A and B are shown apart, each in its own frame.
Chain A
């Protein structure tokens, strides 16, 4: 993507995004709700109504209404109409819609392909079930199966780890890692920062544009995450394993001890509004860090500016 802006009708959802994802990568897009993650994915797939700039997949330009060949997409399962009369097999064979013959029902090859992919994803024998009659992890895998039945080179997933338990989430991430090892480029959005830090080799922080890109160890720092999410974030490194533990610094939340806030803010001479009290007050300009340590703020801001620029 080069200098890409896009949206649906009025204002851009994201702006001036330049992003390169090498073939064979496994990338996680992280950012707050409304940061434009889903819209970025749709722009990569030609599914965003209004896009300016240049989007190419495998060297071929992508335009609205012209999806790239060899791409599979798994939407957020929260957006699925679970009462729609569709069986697991109905949904999975939708992924072959471009290859299927003119008849309304799947032929033998289509059915065999669906059975194979369902078996591969641990869903064997569930083809005749209604999509609602499955567990959250199974539902997620049904839509993964719909994307994989087309044997994509590029797999794009929107929040595949949302609304499922930790074990199922890890299973899905391991499955995606296995696909990636087989040569599939994987791009996914997620809110699960710790899962990204533990499982993914590469990450892009997004908030209306790209804030930072690189390995989680390089990118998941308190200043970058605070800027990405507009809230004070903390990153703890486990010195034994080298792993990261990421958490919101909760002491400025709505139930924080009032005396602490007032005394601290008074000391710093910072008005409440600017200090970013409340969840949304931090904004993406890095000022949320003001509350914590006045000296460190400026250091943080320099770091953030360096990464962003």
Chain B
């Protein structure tokens, strides 16, 4: 592929907007990758806010935040597991959104974008929202990193060392809801879970350090978002699937290469399941 062909789409404003949005949301998804479950809950909020004429970002964000708190509260009851709480709240909320759409049938176009993403429809307002959310979350994670790490690693012990895990939980729920809402227009709500889970899962194969994992995950998310946009334009496929397939391919390559390296070294690495993928310690409460 010639350089001219690669650079051609940069001449279009819609593509430049989409590229910035995809890169930023890729990085943001990589950063927030520990939390993968709220996207479907936010969808319900988006539908309700549209029906009631609320601002999309505020309505869907508030809904996502409340859903996160509801999951945390439900999971704190010892006889209901976090997985069950997540399943109940997110699927019920998603189902509510779908039910309202099927009932009213008044805004199918917008919500198809919300479901599957529409990078070409990224407006300057969207870009401002994505940039603002990325900046605020980056600063919050930077200064709250130690508390966040302790809370994720050891949620029962962190309070004994003076960390208010409830505030950390609430703050992260808010950040996650905001992330999903601003990512929704880029990759779509149905693909956002993959956008959030793949970068940290791939990074986990490369490092045993949480700090390095965070950096690799952010970089991988950004690179996949950036590159996926060009793939989307060149091959004329939807941007969301292009980004996700690229991320999945990167994961596959890293999986094979690290597996081969493990075979050469002759010792096991990361034999235990990936906690970032198969558990949800934050929402597990106690």
Contacts and interface: CB of A to CB of B under 8 A. Distances in A.
Most chain A beta-carbon contacts within 10 A, residue among B147, B162, B163, B279: B162
B194 to A, nearest CB: 20
Given A81-B275, A85-B209, A105-B211, A75 B157 contact: yes
Contact of B160 (A8, A45, A90): A45
Contacts of A254: none
B149 interface: yes
Contacts of A65: 159, 164
Contacts of B77: 9
Contacts of B281: 81
Interface string A61-76: 0000101000101010
B156 A90 contact: no
Nearest to B208: A130
Q: Which of A81, A82, A104, A130 has the most CB of B within 10 A?
A: A104
B145 interface: yes
Contact of B210 (A9, A90, A102): A90
Contacts of A3: none
B265 interface: no
Interface string B132-160: 00000000001101110110111011011
Contact of B270 (A83, A98, A100, A104): A83
Nearest to A132: B272
A84 interface: yes
Most buried by B among A65, A83, A95, A97: A83
A87 interface: yes
B250 to A, nearest CB: 18
B161 A67 contact: yes
A121 interface: no
B273 interface: yes
A49 interface: yes
B159 A97 contact: no
A67 B146 contact: no
B173 interface: no
A94 interface: yes
A82 B161 CA distance: 20
Contacts of A49: 286
22 contacts: A9-B77, A65-B159, A65-B164, A67-B159, A67-B162, A73-B157, A75-B156, A75-B157, A80-B154, A84-B210, A84-B275, A85-B209, A85-B210, A85-B276, A86-B209, A87-B209, A90-B210, A90-B211, A94-B150, A94-B161, A97-B150, A150-B161
A104 B161 contact: no
B274 interface: yes
A46 interface: yes
A295 B164 CA distance: 56
B19 interface: no
B208 A46 contact: no
A9 B143 CA distance: 33
Interface in B198-226: 204, 207-211, 213
Interface of A: 8-9, 42, 45-47, 49, 65, 67, 71, 73, 75, 79-87, 90-91, 94-95, 97-98, 100, 102, 104-105, 130, 132, 150
B78 interface: yes
Contact of A83 (B149, B161, B273): B273
A49 B285 CA distance: 11
A86 B210 contact: yes
Interface string B242-263: 0000000000000000000000
Q: Chain B interface residue count: which class?
A: 35 or more
A205 B244 CA distance: 57
B142 A104 contact: yes
B153 A86 contact: yes
A76 B236 CA distance: 55
Nearest to B209: A87
B209 A73 contact: no
B219 to A, nearest CB: 16
Identify the interface centre among B160, B163, B272: most chain A CB within 10 Å of its CB.
B160
A104 B154 CA distance: 17
A75 B154 contact: yes
A42 B208 CA distance: 30
Nearest to B203: A85
B160 A94 contact: no
B35 to A, nearest CB: 15
Count chain B CB atoms within 10 A of each CB in A42, A45, A84, A86 and give the residue with the most. A84
A292 to B, nearest CB: 38
A97 B146 contact: yes
Contact of A94 (B78, B146, B209, B276): B146
Contacts of B276: 85
A46 B165 CA distance: 13
Contacts of B142: 104
Contacts of B145: 104
Given A84-B275, A85-B208, A73 B78 contact: no
Contacts of B274: 83
A97 B153 contact: no
Given A81-B281, A84-B153, A86-B209, 6 more contacts: A47-B157, A47-B159, A83-B270, A85-B209, A94-B153, A105-B211
A102 B143 CA distance: 6
Contacts of B152: 84
B204 A85 contact: yes
Contacts of B154: 75, 80, 94
Nearest to A158: B157
